[in-house]
Amino acid sequence: MAGLVLLGMLSTVAAFLPGFPSVLSLPRWVLLGVSGVLGLWVPTRLLHRIDRGQGPRRARLLALGTRGLAFVNLLFFLLSLAWVLVLLYQARSV
């Protein structure tokens, strides 16, 4: 879970700072998409386990924070895709 939180924080920083190097030379939009999807899937599973009494209750806040970062990453991922579509549309109409 800590690695997922770190990945979410790095990809959020990568979205805000244009000079920040991308992890493993991946494009930023790929990093945002992957961390966003994993950031929603893994903490949601953990929250379900906690609700059933099978997970540590102290991890609830960390899981909720990770999901929050995942929503931010997915938002920037979708904005990046929208920007690419706008650029492709403009290039096509020239």
> Are 47 and 60 spatial neighbours (Cβ–Cβ below 8 Å)?
yes
- What residues make up the domain containing 19? 2-93
* Residue 39: predicted pLDDT: 80
Give the pLDDT confidence of 31-89 residue by residue, as tens digits.
777 777 888 888 889 899 999 999 888 889 988 988 888 888 888 888 888 888 898 89
Domain count, the chain: 1
pLDDT of residue 30: 73
Residue 1 has pLDDT above 70, yes or no: no
Could you give the residue ranges of the DSSP H alpha helices within 19-93? Answer: 28-51, 60-93
pLDDT at 5 over 80: no
